[in-house]
A and B are shown apart, each in its own frame.
Chain A
């Protein structure tokens, strides 16, 4: 109860309409996230630095996807506020949010018989109106999005016929066509082989570098997270354990604390970023714990 009163004053009380103070564009304060009665996270504070490639890591069921859904307004927090540009995201018109913040969820279904170009075109939905359905602008953005993700050659193909990696790039193209400065991706590399994972992550890094986009992704692979992220958020049991640059966050102690995994952290020979090497299985009982 006290929480809601608290951020009621801090979140909306100050500030001129349309302006936000020097805080980041997207943040959450005192969030309680739950599915029905099952509480996933309580009193969670999180800030997404502007123009960062933020990666959220953590063990299964730590609440990282839930947090991403709350930030994208697809899950309404039981308590607390998600702020977008200084305003409570639930108070903003859905269409306005959809032009600022894009989400690529894990479970998306491509309709039967849809072509690549059509699927990407659906990303233009928040920019369209009943009486102004398809403009030259839409056409151009869809083409650019397909080119940026390397699926322009597949434009006329059916999405069902594509390989997993191609399909994931098409979904990302759809999210790009939404033309949002903030883009949230829930495990974009799941179910892809290693080459396609790198391909998708390279694409994400490029999208982040272009146009000063802010990217937030949930990733499982710690080494990918450390290599590509500019900002890392480590979660466990619905809490943010650490947040900062990969160099600050990805230490052997932290990985052990967050994942209960003994490991060594060395320099990635390619990039110099932290590289997590899980400890080998020891024979003695004491060493495994």
Chain B
């Protein structure tokens, strides 16, 4: 059957470990993210040209420009970059760990856990630093509980998915209850946070995520990417090849939960980036495996792009970035399903 067809040599033989297309996609997305970032910094009540922006960022701007860029606009862009990168990396790790393209932290309960933690702080009248702390704590506690419930002599993907879906349902209920408990002002603030917004982010919001990314990203990207790709082929096979599967899962799950909750602490539970960025990356690179680095760059580009759109789409009226990612991500998912249906794959 397939042997009779002409050989479709789609890729170069030789088993090169580095896919040039994957590298190109990663580099391209990073560049795109930077362009979006420069445009975002340049926009607003005091417009600046891209060259002015770059000049100011490297330290050659007037005091006014310096203030506008470094204090007002750059933190927001850096937050977008980092949140997008962190969510995409965590999403790619989750999808690979549970061997399911829908296995993103939004759907496995981790994001809802962060939200519950943050809402608890809002209802009890805490400030924004406490809110971030609540989001991290909520995410980590949820992660630990899900991990403990899913653990049975080892961690298995499908059990993690089932427990995670259960946790999502419970936590959604809890979050709804917390919202009704809050006073009107608090509830409105909570709703804005729940949508995911980058408005008015300062350096103090970025710092925890920056620290976490600079420590966790090397561990995940350099230390875990190859064994993770091997583990996708089956636990037994991976163990046979010398991968310590359970240890790897524990490290990766911890890293992904931390990244997700810190991203939520910085920008709220921005939806769909963790789900769509790894998908998009896989389609663009055409490469097997988790494609962690390229996915991370894609996520950064996605969120900076979405935030740029959120600021510019309606003149004089900013949208929360979560609305844009939700609409874009949801639309992408529907389009993907329709395309797959047309291709007869589902």
Give residues in A with beta carbon < 8 Å to B.
36, 69, 72-74, 94-99, 101-105, 107-118, 120-123, 125-126, 128, 130, 133-134, 138-139, 142, 153-158, 161-163, 166, 178, 184
Q: Sorted from nearest, which 5 A-B pairs have the closest CB atoms?
A: A98-B242, A121-B15, A103-B240, A111-B288, A105-B236
Is the Cβ of A155 less than 8 Å from the Cβ of B288? no
Is the Cβ of A118 less than 8 Å from the Cβ of B15? yes
* A113 to B, closest residue via Cβ: B288
Q: Tell me if B10 counts as interface (CB < 8 A to partner A).
A: yes
Which of B17, B99, B153 has most A Cβ within 10 Å?
B17
Q: Tell me if B253 counts as interface (CB < 8 A to partner A).
A: no
B138-155 near A? 1/0 per residue, CB < 8 Å: 000000000000001100
* B9 to A, closest residue via Cβ: A156
* A128 to B, closest residue via Cβ: B226
Residues of B within 8 A of A162 (CB): 2
A178 to B242 CA separation, bound complex (whole angstroms):
10
Known: A74-B239, A94-B242. A163 touches B17 (CB 8 A): no
B236 to A: closest C-beta gap in Å: 4
Q: Tell me if B323 counts as interface (CB < 8 A to partner A).
A: no
Quick one: which of A36, A98, A117 contacts B153, CB cutoff 8 A? A36
Give residues in B with beta carbon < 8 Å to A.
1-3, 7-18, 99, 152-153, 222-223, 226-227, 229-230, 232-237, 239-244, 282, 286-289
A101 to B289 CA separation, bound complex (whole angstroms):
25
Quick one: which of A103, A109, A178 contacts B232, CB cutoff 8 A? A109
* A96 to B, closest residue via Cβ: B242
Residues of A within 8 A of B286 (CB): 113
* Supplied contacts A108-B233, A122-B230, A158-B10, 10 more A-B pairs, CB within 8 Å: A36-B152, A69-B236, A73-B239, A94-B242, A96-B242, A98-B241, A105-B236, A109-B234, A126-B242, A157-B8
A118 to B2 CA separation, bound complex (whole angstroms):
19
Quick one: which of B13, B236, B242 contacts A97, CB cutoff 8 A? B242
Number of A-B residue pairs having CB atoms within 8 Å of each other in the complex: 124
Is the Cβ of B17 less than 8 Å from the Cβ of A121? yes
A124 to B: closest C-beta gap in Å: 8
Is the Cβ of A112 less than 8 Å from the Cβ of B12? no
Residues of B within 8 A of A161 (CB): 2, 8
A49 to B234 CA separation, bound complex (whole angstroms):
28
Residues of A within 8 A of B99 (CB): 109
A109 to B15 CA separation, bound complex (whole angstroms):
18
Residues of A within 8 A of B222 (CB): 130
Is the Cβ of B240 less than 8 Å from the Cβ of A163? no
Known: A74-B240, A98-B242, A121-B15. A110 touches B287 (CB 8 A): no
B222 to A: closest C-beta gap in Å: 6
Residues of B within 8 A of A117 (CB): 13-15
Residues of B within 8 A of A108 (CB): 233-234, 236-237
Residues of B within 8 A of A178 (CB): 240-241
A35 to B: closest C-beta gap in Å: 8
A163 to B: closest C-beta gap in Å: 6
Residues of B within 8 A of A122 (CB): 229-230, 233, 241
Is the Cβ of B226 less than 8 Å from the Cβ of A163? no
Quick one: which of A69, A112, A156 contacts B288, CB cutoff 8 A? A112
Residues of A within 8 A of B9 (CB): 156-157
Residues of B within 8 A of A139 (CB): 14-15
* B14 to A, closest residue via Cβ: A117
Is the Cβ of A155 less than 8 Å from the Cβ of B14? yes
* B227 to A, closest residue via Cβ: A125
Is the Cβ of A142 less than 8 Å from the Cβ of B15? yes
Is the Cβ of B236 less than 8 Å from the Cβ of A103? yes
Is the Cβ of B237 less than 8 Å from the Cβ of A103? yes
Residues of A within 8 A of B15 (CB): 115, 117-118, 120-121, 134, 138-139, 142, 155
Known: A94-B244, A121-B17, A122-B241. A109 touches B233 (CB 8 A): yes
